[in-house]
């Protein structure tokens, strides 16, 4: 049993991490954004000292990709400085940090899955701020863990699945919805990712780790699978990022692989099925 501090504990991933950690009989301290502003270095040091954890799983993050383009300093304060504050506080007390990062640190020009040693080149403000956090964490201690994942979805939070279902409901059962084909990645169910994050914290796994739902698809293909799971018969048509005019550029290819000997997560389709089972009301048409 370990004593774990979970930051961002009210968010979609944090709630799942906390539930898993408690189910594994860990002694857990949960802090939400209301409890702790991770960009406040003094407050972070005090919170970590008081909690005296063996490990920290940092789920606190600025996740609004579009808003980050116009509010990059604010996003950087959380994703960059905030991660660094936690990493240094952890290192100072001998605690291990598991930092959650993103596929958006890559530019999407690869033709094979990205592995941990591949060079990064973030296209968006969000990606740059998360990459800054990675650097801060590993500078504080190379033994800390940076877990890059992708396209998170699960109960209790806004995500691509809930967005598609909302837009699909607006389009009507016999309508159509345009979804991009030029963004390919690995949808990842929080219920599959959370247990692995807790395991990394418990056994103090370190370094950069890629961990996302197995397989890959375009956003368009993912939307089709979501609507099928919800029993919606609307037609999904093809479009591109440039046509939609999104503020934040997304990597067109952000499929994650790993060069480390770690067990892969289940396939993203299994994750979607698990989400349907965990939150069936979300998919009721």
How much of the chain exceeds pLDDT 90, in percent? Answer: 89
pLDDT at 92: 97
What is the enclosing helix (H) or strand (E) of 224? Answer: helix 219-229
**CATH fit for domain 3-152+188-210, picks 2.102.10.10, 3.30.420.40, 3.40.50.720, 3.90.1150.10:** 3.40.50.720
What does the alpha-carbon distance between residue 230 and residue 174 come to, in Å, rounded to a whole number?
14
pLDDT at 14: 97
DSSP 283: G
**Residue tagged 């996003």 (tokens):** 75
**CATH fit for domain 160-184+215-253+267-283, picks 3.90.25.10, 3.40.50.10470, 1.20.1250.20, 3.40.50.2000:** 3.90.25.10
17-23, long-range: CB < 8 A, 24+ apart: 17/57, 17/59, 17/194, 17/197, 17/198, 19/194, 20/194, 20/195, 20/198, 21/57, 21/198, 21/201
pLDDT at 228: 93
CA atoms within 13 A on the CB side of 152: 27
Please give the full DSSP string across 152-163, using - where no structure is assigned: EE-TTS--HHHH
Average of per-residue pLDDT across 8-34: 97
pLDDT at 175: 82
pLDDT at 132: 98
Q: Which of the residues are catalytic?
A: 126
User: If 0-12 CB within 10 Å is exposed, 13-18 middle and 19+ buried, where does residue 215 land?
Assistant: middle
Domain parsing of the chain, residue ranges: 3-152+188-210, 160-184+215-253+267-283
pLDDT at 253: 97
Average of per-residue pLDDT across 18-22: 97
Could you give the C-alpha distances from 93 to 70, 83, 251, in angstroms and in order? 36, 16, 37
- Phi, psi of 16, rounded to the nearest 5 degrees: -70, -45
| DSSP reduced 3-state for 54 | coil
pLDDT at 59: 98
Residue 285 has pLDDT above 80, yes or no: no
Nearest to 150 by CA among 190, 208, 201: 190
Q: What's the CA angle centered on 154, arms 15 and 13, to 5 degrees?
A: 30
Answer for the pair 225, 213: CB distance below 8 angstroms, yes or no: no
pLDDT at 169: 85
Nearest to 258 by CA among 203, 189, 208, 195: 208
């Amino acid at each position: 049993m370990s004593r774990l501090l979970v930051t961002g504990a009210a968010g979609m991933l944090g709630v799942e991490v906390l539930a898993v950690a408690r189910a594994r009989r860990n002694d857990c301290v949960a802090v939400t954004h209301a409890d702790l502003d991770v960009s406040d270095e003094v407050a972070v040091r005090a919170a970590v000292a008081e909690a005296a954890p063996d490990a920290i799983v940092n789920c606190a993050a600025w996740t609004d990709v579009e808003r980050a383009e116009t509010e990059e300093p604010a996003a950087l304060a959380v994703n960059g400085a905030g991660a660094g504050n936690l990493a240094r506080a952890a290192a100072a007390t001998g605690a291990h940090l598991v930092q959650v990062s993103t596929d958006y640190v890559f530019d999407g020009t690869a033709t094979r899955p990205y592995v941990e040693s591949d060079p990064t080149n973030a296209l968006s403000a969000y990606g740059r701020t998360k990459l800054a956090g990675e650097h801060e964490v590993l500078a504080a201690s190379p033994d800390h863990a940076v877990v890059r994942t992708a396209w998170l979805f699960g109960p209790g939070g806004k995500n691509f699945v809930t967005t598609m279902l909302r837009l699909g409901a607006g389009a009507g059962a016999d309508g159509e919805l345009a979804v991009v084909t030029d963004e390919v990645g690995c949808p990842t169910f929080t219920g599959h990712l959370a247990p692995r994050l807790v395991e990394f914290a418990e056994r103090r796994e370190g370094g950069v780790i890629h961990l996302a739902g197995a397989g890959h698809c375009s956003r368009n293909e993912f939307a089709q699978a979501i609507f099928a799971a919800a029993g919606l018969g609307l037609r999904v048509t093809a479009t591109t990022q440039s046509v939609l005019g999104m503020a934040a550029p997304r990597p067109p290819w952000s499929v994650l692989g790993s060069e480390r000997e770690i067990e892969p997560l289940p396939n993203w389709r299994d994750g979607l099925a698990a989400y349907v089972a965990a939150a069936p009301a979300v998919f009721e048409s």
